[in-house]
Chain A
Amino acid sequence: MNALRGQMELWKLHLAVIIIGVIAELIGIRKIPLGIGAILLLPLLYAFVMAALMNPNVMPKFGKFIREKEVKAASPLIVVAIMPFIAKFGTTIGPAIETIIEAGPALLLQELGNLGTIVLAFPLAVWGLKMGREAIGATFSIAREPNLAIIADRYTLKSPEGTGVMGVYVIGTLFGTFIFAILASLFASSELFDPRALAMACGIGSGSMMAACTGALTEAVPAMKDEILALAGASNLLTYATGLYAGLFIALPVVEKLYNATAGKRDHAAAQNKEA
């Protein structure tokens, strides 16, 4: 029963999570109306912010109750805490299997939508912000764990490409849930798109990004709740399978070629000027 004793020693952490979680749940879902639509605030967002404010690394002054020991222990607990959530999503997919099969082609091919980041982010990074090779790591993918592994394998994480992918990874960890809640809210309230398409796109990121995204979406279109959960869950599962390969065999080679054909020449010229 070492495992139980180990968790009991972390009672402060679990207690803090319960208190923060209860407060967050009591506040509940809030709607902020904006001109073009509405942004939905979810309990999971408040929980993240409250926990971050008690984190000694974020707020050294308030770091009395939670210390470095709890911070270290919390990291593997995220993975375990997300498991029941994933199991719940699985149980929404089974009953909707016919919907999933019907939407199969869209589900499979929307994974290629990942390449949208290249169209949008790469040009700005290279021409707008004059970034160097960091742009390759930063813009080839949504920078979740499998994508980190790709860059680590090819360039190491200490390279400029590694700096780029790590930066986006960390920003995603810190703000990804907010960004996805806002994206889903705005896309849904524009009413231009099929909620099923919005649901499939919710599955492209990490589990918590999917939570925020589907949470906002089901609030906006409550009548389609079951279908939204099933499609997002199926898309997220596919991302584990296809995300790695799409990144490795399509996105990264494309970004590398683009970079070498454009900014790479600039780098080369700059290097030659220096030598001269």
Chain B
Amino acid sequence: MANSAVAKQNTRPQINLVDHAVTLVIVCLVGLIMNTVGPAIPLADGFVGMIVIYLISMVGLILTRFSPFYLPSVAWISLVGIVATLPWTPGSEWIVEQAKSVNFLALATPALAYAGFAIAKKEIEVAKHSGWKLVIIACLVFFGTYAGSVLVAEGILRLQGI
């Protein structure tokens, strides 16, 4: 019994759609404030844009919950956003136009504020315990991964001549 519950959790985390729907409204409202303050996009435009963004996120969550196979919610949401704005999707021009009234950096600002508040005691302990060696290694890991990706992408773009 206990085993099967664990197995189920591993294959697909259950998401509560009502909880997410409510929380997402709050998060979108916070994002709308940022969108109005920072990039100075008129509130009325940003409001419609944010409704579009909200609906895309919700459809993605619904797919995460009910699709026959598991993908992380962010992957579903991204896919819904892509399909909704493909040139051959009916009404995509309108959706693209509305989504342009939402600035992506304004949406990232509250996410990072939540992240700052979420730093747990354990993370501070791990960081202190890891010491300077691991900090240097981490910087090199990020640098190496970024540079590696850039070099491969650059090389192939040149080979393709585009």
A106 near B137: Cβ-Cβ < 8 Å: no
Within the complex, which residue of A14, A66, A91, A214 is in contact with B99, where a contact is CB–CB below 8 Å?
A91
Given A109-B152, A168-B137, are A21 and B130 neighbors across the interface (CB < 8 Å)?
A: no
A124 near B136: Cβ-Cβ < 8 Å: yes
CB contacts (< 8 Å) of A97 on chain B: these are 82, 86-87
Contact flags B134-146 to A (C-beta < 8 A → 1, else 0): 1111111111111
Interface: A263 (CB within 8 A): no
Q: How many residues on chain A are close to B (CB under 8 Å)?
A: 125
B153 near A47: Cβ-Cβ < 8 Å: no
Interface: A250 (CB within 8 A): no
Given A7-B22, A42-B105, A84-B50, are A109 and B156 neighbors across the interface (CB < 8 Å)?
A: yes
Within the complex, which residue of B60, B135, B144 is in contact with A120, where a contact is CB–CB below 8 Å?
B144
| CA–CA, A118 and B140, complex, Å | 10
A171 near B30: Cβ-Cβ < 8 Å: no
Within the complex, which residue of A83, A88, A119, A166 is in contact with B144, where a contact is CB–CB below 8 Å?
A119
A124 near B146: Cβ-Cβ < 8 Å: no
| CA–CA, A263 and B87, complex, Å | 54
Given A198-B150, A204-B146, A208-B111, are A233 and B117 neighbors across the interface (CB < 8 Å)?
A: no
CB contacts (< 8 Å) of A129 on chain B: these are 133, 136-137
Closest to A105 in B: B156
Within the complex, which residue of B20, B115, B143 is in contact with A183, where a contact is CB–CB below 8 Å?
B143
Residues of A contacting B: mostly: helix
Q: Which of A14-29 contact B (CB under 8 A)?
A: 14, 16-18, 20-22, 24-26, 28
A215 near B105: Cβ-Cβ < 8 Å: yes
Within the complex, which residue of B38, B71, B153 is in contact with A197, where a contact is CB–CB below 8 Å?
B153
A18 near B33: Cβ-Cβ < 8 Å: yes
Q: How many residues on chain B are close to A (CB under 8 Å)?
A: 98
Nearest CB of chain B from residue A194's CB, rounded to whole Å = 5
A17 near B30: Cβ-Cβ < 8 Å: yes
Closest to A171 in B: B138
| CA–CA, A66 and B127, complex, Å | 22
Interface: A252 (CB within 8 A): no
B139 near A179: Cβ-Cβ < 8 Å: yes
Nearest CB of chain A from residue B72's CB, rounded to whole Å = 6
Given A51-B117, A57-B121, A131-B133, are A168 and B138 neighbors across the interface (CB < 8 Å)?
A: yes
Q: Which residues of B contact A (CB under 8 A)?
A: 16, 18-24, 26-28, 30-31, 33-34, 37-38, 50, 52-54, 56-57, 60-61, 71-75, 77-87, 89, 92, 95-96, 99, 102, 104-121, 123-124, 126-127, 129-130, 133-154, 156-158, 160, 162
Other CB < 8 Å A-B pairs besides A111-B149, A164-B134, 20 of them?
A18-B33, A21-B34, A24-B38, A25-B37, A44-B109, A45-B112, A47-B113, A71-B119, A80-B27, A87-B60, A91-B53, A91-B82, A117-B145, A138-B134, A141-B141, A171-B134, A201-B149, A211-B104, A237-B78, A240-B75
